[in-house]
Amino acid sequence: MQLQDILFSQGFGTRRVCAGLVQQGHVAVDGKTIDDPTEELEATGLQFVVQGTPWEYHEKAYLMLHKPAGYECSQKPSTYPSIYTLLPAPIRQRGGGAAAGVQAVGRLDQDTTGLLLLSDDGKFIHRMSSPKHHVPKVYEVRAKHPVDDKQVQKLLSGVVLDDDPKPVKAAACEKTGDNTLSLTLTEGKYHQVKRMIAAVGNRVEEVAGLHRSRIGDLQLPGDLKPGGWRWLTAQDLLDIAGKKA
């Protein structure tokens, strides 16, 4: 694969821009500067440096982001900044074209924090987002009022939301404190957690009230700070799917 095409696929600009980066001596492989944009390289596993920043070739992008509060999961946010501004420009521009860059796998409200997946693999996004695949997502909830056992049982047996006559059930639910609970869902309706908590006569605290801690068996790492991101490993992808290596 030509070096200019590798850079283009990884989001470093148009093919002309990528060719210019190479010709101007801004790209190095194995410590050696390459000035020929058409040089053929094995893309898989390739590590390279662009303008002093190390990169690794990824045919498809699979990322995790620790979403902070005050960000919208939208390319065109209405009020708050976009989560995509937390990512490097090449990741936002991968592949070029109208559908360039990674997309969030589902959405978290602007005031919700926690684990968010992003990818440019449409099949992966569909598989993770579709309720047919029953991928469990765990939310840590802080309620405004004390949580009692009756509320927990209602969440487990099912509550009716105003846009769907079919009861919506939590896959799992347990109290973790007087005003806190851990809630597991396998589908993602609009504001679902907040509406389910409201349906049992309580409400989610407006500040730091909702945090997604896990998707499948993938736990949000404790060392990934709010606003931080990293590539998913092969083991991470197995964890998301609930599989073992």
Q: Which residues are tagged catalytic?
A: 109
- For 99, other C-beta atoms within 10 Å of its C-beta total 10
Cα distance between residue 14 and residue 44, in whole Å: 21
- Integer CA distances (angstroms), 126 to 104, 133, 135, in order: 11, 9, 11
Cα distance between residue 229 and residue 213, in whole Å: 15
* Helix/strand/coil for 77: coil
Residues 6+ apart with CB under 8 A from 105: 116, 117, 118, 119, 124, 125, 128, 129
* Helix/strand/coil for 75: coil
78 exposed, middle or buried (CB, 10 Å; 0-12, 13-18, 19+)?
exposed
Produce one character per residue of 128-150: b if its CB has 16 or more CB atoms within 10 Å, e if not: bbeeeeebebbbbbbbeeebeee
Cα distance between residue 167 and residue 155, in whole Å: 10
Cα distance between residue 9 and residue 203, in whole Å: 45
Q: Which of 64, 163, 161, 73 is nearest to 109 (CA)?
A: 73
Cα distance between residue 212 and residue 137, in whole Å: 7
